[in-house]
Amino acid sequence: WDFLILFFCLPVVIFNEITKKRLLGDLSCRIVPFMEVSSLGVTTFSLCALGIDRFHAATSPQPSTRPIEQCQSIIAKLAVIWVGSMTLSVPEILLWQLAQDTSPVSGVVTEYCTMKPSSNLPESVYSLVLTYQNARMWWYFGCYFCLPILFTVSCQLVTRRIRGTEKKAECRGTKHSQCEGHLNCTIIGLTVIYGLCTTPENVCNIVVAYMSPDMSKQTLDLLNLINQFFLFFKCSVTPVLLLCLCRPLGQAFMDCCCCCCEGCGPDAASSEGSADSKLKTEMSSSIFFDKPRESPPPLLALGTPC
């Protein structure tokens, strides 16, 4: 979803700032806010899902032998996250519309998006959209800012407390505990980036809600532009941070890039390097689920048929 934001929303916003014309007209005024709010929802619910997984890993009776989750279960969770985020963002499609403004000095017609429900909507739908518009600021702040941060912080505190009690009875510095700590750092890093990039938008929303009559249209447009580029920055940094902190994912990405650029010619050096990287990948945990410890080879039966 971050790549969709960068490939679709970013060119539309840049084109509008340069030409003062809205690319794709009224359609982009509705689709761009919908995709941006959906991006916040996807990140929010993904962080909550990761926090739950880390909590389950900490409270599992035998975390080192926890089985890998089935692919169907992972796809179902991702579908719930994406469909739920898009469903909660549907009011954005009905809230925005294209407007035009003529400059009194130059006479140039400028197109911009305004937050105003269409009067052609049915009365029941219009009232719901209007209610969403009035509660939009606090919905943003509560669901897309407070929820992921509080959820991640609470899960991390519980996990650290459980790990602290276990370390008293177990030997410190084991491979499994190092992997768990690495995954926890990854989730904390993603949450910090998300919190830093969404804080300006929430602050601007609260300020604009109480001081909009005293602010000019140019100031409001500038604040909206700053908020959008903070979102674009978050969408750019999050995949890079995930590739750097999650070693198995980053190693798989580098292997795919090297395979596509140099070809997959087998030689001794490459086979040895791939074997080492495969061993490191198997020893590390994935970002979602823990790798099970390999079962020991079966014992040979004593005696022979002879």
The pLDDT tens digits of the residues spanning 25-46 come to 788 888 988 999 999 999 999 9
Q: Letter for the amino acid at 215?
A: M
CB 46 within 8 A of CB 81: yes
Full-prediction pTM beyond 0.75?
Answer: no
pLDDT at 42: 92
CB under 8 Å to 103, separation ≥6 — which residues? 109, 110
Helix, strand and coil content of the chain, in percent to the nearest 5, comes to 75, 5, 20
CA 142 from centroid of its chain's CA atoms: 17
Residue 267 CA to residue 256 CA, distance in Å, equals 17
DSSP string for residues in 21-34: S-TTTHHHHHHHHH
Determine the 3-state secondary structure of 297 from DSSP.
Answer: coil
Residue 278 CA to residue 248 CA, distance in Å, equals 9
The pLDDT tens digits of the residues spanning 259-297 come to 766 654 444 444 445 445 544 444 444 444 444 444 555
pLDDT at 61: 64
pLDDT at 206: 82
Structure tokens given for 76: 């179902």
The pLDDT tens digits of the residues spanning 138-196 come to 888 989 999 999 888 888 888 777 766 655 555 444 666 666 667 777 888 888 889 89
Q: Work out the number of other CB atoms within 10 angstroms of the CB of residue 190.
A: 24
Q: Which residue has the higher pLDDT, 165 or 96?
A: 96
Q: What is the CATH number of domain 1-61+69-166+179-257?
A: 1.20.1070.10
pLDDT bucket at 80, cuts 50 / 70 / 90: very high
pLDDT at 256: 79
First-to-final CA distance of the chain: 65
CA distance to 53, 157, 215, per residue, from 188 (Å): 14, 11, 36
H helices of the chain, in order, are: 2-4, 10-19, 26-59, 71-88, 90-95, 123-141, 147-167, 175-211, 217-245, 247-262, 268-283
Structure tokens given for 80: 């719930």
The pLDDT tens digits of the residues spanning 116-142 come to 888 788 888 888 888 888 888 888 898
At residue 100, φ and ψ (nearest 5 deg) are -125, 145
Percent of the chain with pLDDT over 70: 73
pLDDT at 263: 54
CA distance to 149, 191, 211, 231, per residue, from 199 (Å): 11, 12, 18, 10
pLDDT at 304 over 60: no
pLDDT at 38: 92
Q: Which residue has the higher pLDDT, 45 or 246?
A: 45
Q: Which residue has the higher pLDDT, 245 or 85?
A: 85
Across residues 249-254, what is the average pLDDT?
76
CA angle (233, 237, 243) in 5-degree steps: 165
CB under 8 Å to 255, separation ≥6 — which residues? 274, 277
CA distance to 70, 73, 74, 141, per residue, from 288 (Å): 12, 12, 9, 27
Q: Letter for the amino acid at 141?
A: F
Percent of the chain with pLDDT over 90: 7
pLDDT at 89 over 70: yes
pLDDT at 100: 78
Across residues 85-98, what is the average pLDDT?
89
**Average pLDDT of the chain to the nearest whole number:** 76
Averaging pLDDT over each range in 73-87, 98-112, 210-224, 274-288, which range is the top one?
Answer: 73-87
DSSP 300: P
DSSP string for residues in 51-94: HHHHHHHHH-SSGGGPPPPPHHHHHHHHHHHHHHHHHHTHHHHH
